[in-house]
Chain A
């Protein structure tokens, strides 16, 4: 009895896991399974569904508009994940290195966008981008009148304009995460680097960057998922326009399920999106793990 490892025999261990598993199954596994199930039907949400097999998935590949939506999500990833990471690393390194007085205050300021609901953020930025909005006023004030335009209605700039809102929103989160990671780096490491004659830049690449690898993985995972599931921002600012130039998969899911009554197609897009998010998070964490071990 005493020599038995904890959790043995297995039957007993599974019994302990059962309550949690039931909750998990009821609220997560069942809905996912149901979504997969629905995605195999042509269903309007009202009358009897018609079995169509993988046709809804084939449509995602065949439909130019849906392919474009997934492409837009990729572009948004650069704005949501890569740009905040670059800015966040710089900002956090400076804040950490300089041992700024009132660090808590700055941390609060950069984190502030995260506290505001995305819908509010979107409404505010819509005004910023309006033809008579703040951005154009600023451009006009410095003599760049030729650049003014209705940003969200411009075919070239609408998607980047939406992306910049994402950058603004996510940078604070990334910075705070990285700052936390950097503050845990033992000062001895920096001292050793300095004794070896490393400058500030060298120090950053040799000590700081490898030490926050885990935090970078967390930040990337969070922001990439945020980019892929962007909905509210697009819904409020452009509704996918002008034309279809800012439509994203999550918006299509909502639009098809509740607007057009194409529930099966919406479920198929949702499932595809879920798989994509899983795959990308998996890859990111694979890279982070390799660094740690």
Chain B
């Protein structure tokens, strides 16, 4: 007999045996390994120390090493971080800083694992939205900072519309209210960038009302210019355009409720419909560059910088780069209201906030560090490095031009608490839902009603399951 039929197992029987063995293995695996993420949750930090229990004298904390994960890797961001870290170590020789710097994407993808490990970093930069900071709070990985905020006076220095972006309820369900979980350094606001030379050539002033803005668009179109640059290939830039239009039609408190994914508002309202219709109307009138859904974000703002296009709806983060190519021709305004006297409403937020991990053995030192990189002196350092500090904005002096425009705009909108959150904060999947829906709307693949119904479905099902 030959070895292959040894012991006479028929072919199909041998197959059955292998299959049974495989199945048994899988069952054993499933049974032996417990549910993922079952390592004992970190000691619930619900028992918050009171402000008096907090030690703010960092020099008296003994020898401490703080590990800090940040994503301030570029240009002025990196420069200010280095400068502030060096100053902190010089002032408190007992505290050593171990800085780990990664790009935004790398930080986003590695932070989850790092936080659930046994020895997470002490201070981390966590993105404000639900998939990141919200999920971390829910899992008990971040420490509430309210006691520190009281001790250091953060709540007095930071505008309310800014603090809401770093606030969650202790169970991570409510965004925008509750405990404070992080402190940001820089601010952002989405407004309207314009090419001053082109406006002058068209015989126009920077628009002061929403009506004037639309007239300017029409005039630019008639003169053969590209009225507005948009590069929506990356899916998200269109969200800012829609958010800006929405701010003109929908009351700010409704936008805030929608954007924080709380119960009590609706997308399918006449106001939202009007906003969606207006943006479609802009497409029909040819106010955007041709093929905007197939144009990348970077090529679009770079084209604007080269003088193609009169307006660009974009955030303050573009100003430093655009100023290099446009110089004095670059201007920045908040989206104008229906009347000149209307209270400002603009989409905006914070740079990534710095948070303290629940397992950090040195929360007092970590808080001292966060205060150091976000206090009034630090805000001056940010300004000299070309960044937009989130607090004390009106106390900074910058040269006239687009940078001053940016400081004025941010100061105005935060002082009157007119910042509304990014719409994609609403639910863990809303960035996707909204980005794709805006592409559909602008390509006229869906009507304003269908567009809003898509958003309503995601928003309501989340708001309900989250209660």
A247-289 interface with B by 8 A CB criterion: 255, 258-261, 263
A47-65 interface with B by 8 A CB criterion: 47-51
Contact B293 A154 (CB under 8 A): yes
The smallest C-beta distance from A144 to any residue of chain B, in angstroms, reads 15
Out of A33, A37, A149, A243, which one reaches B436, CB within 8 Å?
A243
Contact B25 A33 (CB under 8 A): yes
Does A110 interact with chain B (Cβ within 8 Å)?
A: no
Does B440 interact with chain A (Cβ within 8 Å)?
A: yes
Does A38 interact with chain B (Cβ within 8 Å)?
A: yes
Given A238-B233, A241-B233, residue A36 in contact with residue B139 (CB < 8 A): no
Contact A37 B33 (CB under 8 A): yes
Query: What's the tally of chain A residues with a CB closer than 8 Å to chain B?
Result: 46
The smallest C-beta distance from A229 to any residue of chain B, in angstroms, reads 18
Query: What's the tally of chain B residues with a CB closer than 8 Å to chain A?
Result: 47
| A254 nearest in chain B by CB position | B109
Contact A261 B116 (CB under 8 A): no
The smallest C-beta distance from B393 to any residue of chain A, in angstroms, reads 32
Contact A50 B439 (CB under 8 A): no
Given A33-B26, A242-B443, residue A263 in contact with residue B295 (CB < 8 A): no
The smallest C-beta distance from A264 to any residue of chain B, in angstroms, reads 8
Out of A34, A38, A44, A239, which one reaches B235, CB within 8 Å?
A239
Contact A241 B436 (CB under 8 A): yes
Report Cα–Cα, A44/B30, bound state, in Å: 19
Does B445 interact with chain A (Cβ within 8 Å)?
A: yes
Does A153 interact with chain B (Cβ within 8 Å)?
A: yes
Q: Which of A77-85, A123-131, A175-183, A217-225 contacts B (4 or more CB under 8 A)?
A: A123-131
Report Cα–Cα, A239/B235, bound state, in Å: 8
B residues less than 8 Å from A132 (CB atoms):
295, 299, 303
Contact B440 A243 (CB under 8 A): yes
Does A291 interact with chain B (Cβ within 8 Å)?
A: no
A1-55 interface with B by 8 A CB criterion: 5, 8, 33-34, 36-38, 40-41, 43-51
Report Cα–Cα, A255/B439, bound state, in Å: 19
A residues less than 8 Å from B303 (CB atoms):
132
Does B289 interact with chain A (Cβ within 8 Å)?
A: yes
Contact B139 A40 (CB under 8 A): no
Report Cα–Cα, A195/B116, bound state, in Å: 74
B residues less than 8 Å from A242 (CB atoms):
233, 293-294, 436, 439-440, 443
Contact A46 B136 (CB under 8 A): yes
Given A150-B233, A152-B233, A238-B233, residue A47 in contact with residue B292 (CB < 8 A): no
Report Cα–Cα, A35/B364, bound state, in Å: 40
Given A36-B26, A131-B289, A131-B290, residue A46 in contact with residue B37 (CB < 8 A): yes
Contact B439 A47 (CB under 8 A): no
Does A203 interact with chain B (Cβ within 8 Å)?
A: no
Contact A150 B294 (CB under 8 A): yes
Contact A47 B139 (CB under 8 A): yes
Does A111 interact with chain B (Cβ within 8 Å)?
A: no
Does B361 interact with chain A (Cβ within 8 Å)?
A: no
B residues less than 8 Å from A260 (CB atoms):
131, 428-429, 432
Does B118 interact with chain A (Cβ within 8 Å)?
A: no
Given A47-B41, A130-B295, A130-B299, residue A153 in contact with residue B36 (CB < 8 A): no
Report Cα–Cα, A154/B292, bound state, in Å: 10
Does A106 interact with chain B (Cβ within 8 Å)?
A: no
B residues less than 8 Å from A154 (CB atoms):
293-294
Contact A155 B291 (CB under 8 A): no
Does B323 interact with chain A (Cβ within 8 Å)?
A: no
Report Cα–Cα, A94/B37, bound state, in Å: 58
Contact B3 A41 (CB under 8 A): no
Q: Mark A152-164, 1 if CB is under 8 A from B, else 0.
A: 1111001000000
Contact A150 B136 (CB under 8 A): no
B residues less than 8 Å from A261 (CB atoms):
112, 131, 135, 428
Report Cα–Cα, A33/B294, bound state, in Å: 41
| B105 nearest in chain A by CB position | A258
The smallest C-beta distance from B21 to any residue of chain A, in angstroms, reads 12
Report Cα–Cα, A258/B440, bound state, in Å: 25
B412-462 interface with A by 8 A CB criterion: 428-429, 432, 435-436, 439-440, 443, 445
Report Cα–Cα, A244/B433, bound state, in Å: 9
Does B138 interact with chain A (Cβ within 8 Å)?
A: yes
Contact A44 B294 (CB under 8 A): no
Does A151 interact with chain B (Cβ within 8 Å)?
A: yes
Contact B131 A152 (CB under 8 A): no
Does B179 interact with chain A (Cβ within 8 Å)?
A: no
A residues less than 8 Å from B428 (CB atoms):
260-261
| B431 nearest in chain A by CB position | A259
Does B465 interact with chain A (Cβ within 8 Å)?
A: no
The smallest C-beta distance from B181 to any residue of chain A, in angstroms, reads 14
Listed in ascending order, the chain B residues whose CB lies under 8 Å from chain A are 3, 25-26, 29-30, 33, 35-38, 41, 108-109, 112-113, 115-116, 131, 135-136, 138-141, 232-235, 289-296, 299, 303, 428-429, 432, 435-436, 439-440, 443, 445
6 residue pairs from A and B, CB less than 8 Å apart:
A46-B139, A49-B38, A131-B295, A241-B293, A255-B432, A259-B131
Q: A130-B291, A153-B295 known; 4 other A-B pairs, CB under 8 Å?
A: A33-B25, A37-B33, A130-B299, A153-B292
Closest 10 CB pairs between A and B? A150-B294, A153-B294, A150-B291, A153-B293, A131-B291, A46-B139, A47-B139, A49-B36, A49-B35, A242-B439
